[in-house]
Amino acid sequence: MFTTQQLRESEEQLKLTTTTHRNVMVDEEGEFAGTICSICYEDLKPVSEDLQSISICGHVFHELCLQQWFENCSRVKKHTCPVCKQSCRVSDACRLYFQSVGDVVESVMHRKPFDSEEDSGVLRKEVTRLEVSGISS
C-alpha cells in the first residue's frame, strides 16, 4: 500500500513536465502554467486541447496552429520550426497525448495492497511444487 506521502510525491512528479528549454508545472486541470503556443500566443492546455511537437527540436504548439504554420511555409517551400527556425518536415510533427494527474493518482489508489504473508505463502507453494517435480535449483 502506498503512503499518503508517496502518493503526494508521485503526484508532484507527474505535475512536472520537461520541455527542451525549462521545466513547466502542470496544474490540477492538466494545463501548463504559464506556457503558451508560440504561434497564436494562447495558453497550452494539454488535457483539453490537441497539441503537437516537432520531434527534431521538441517545441510544442496547438495542432491547428502548427498545421497553418506548415501551410504558410509550403508557399516558400521550406518548413521550419516557428521558434528555433530549424528545418523540418510535416512528418516530424507528432501528436502529444497526456493523461490527467487525477487519473493516475486514482489508479494508484485502487491497486491491491501488497500482502507479504499471502505472497510468501504462494511462493512457498510454488517452490514446493517445483521441488516435487524435480526442477529445484
Q: Kindly tell me if the per-residue pLDDT of 5 is higher than 70.
A: no
Q: Kindly tell me if the per-residue pLDDT of 124 is higher than 70.
A: yes
Contact 25, 15 (CB under 8 A): yes
Query: Can you tell me the mean pLDDT for 63-83?
Result: 88
Query: Can you tell me the mean pLDDT for 55-69?
Result: 90
90-119 residue pLDDT tens: 899 998 887 765 655 555 555 555 566 667
> How much is the pTM?
0.49
pLDDT at 120: 80
20-56 residue pLDDT tens: 333 344 555 555 455 889 999 888 887 777 888 888 8
pLDDT at 68: 92
Where do the domains of the chain lie?
4-132
Which own/partner pairs from 48-51 qualify as long-range (CB within 8 Å, at least 24 positions apart)?
50/95, 51/95, 51/96
CATH superfamily, domain 4-132, is Zinc/RING finger domain, C3HC4 (zinc finger) (3.30.40.10)
Residue 59: what residue type?
H
pLDDT at 23: 36
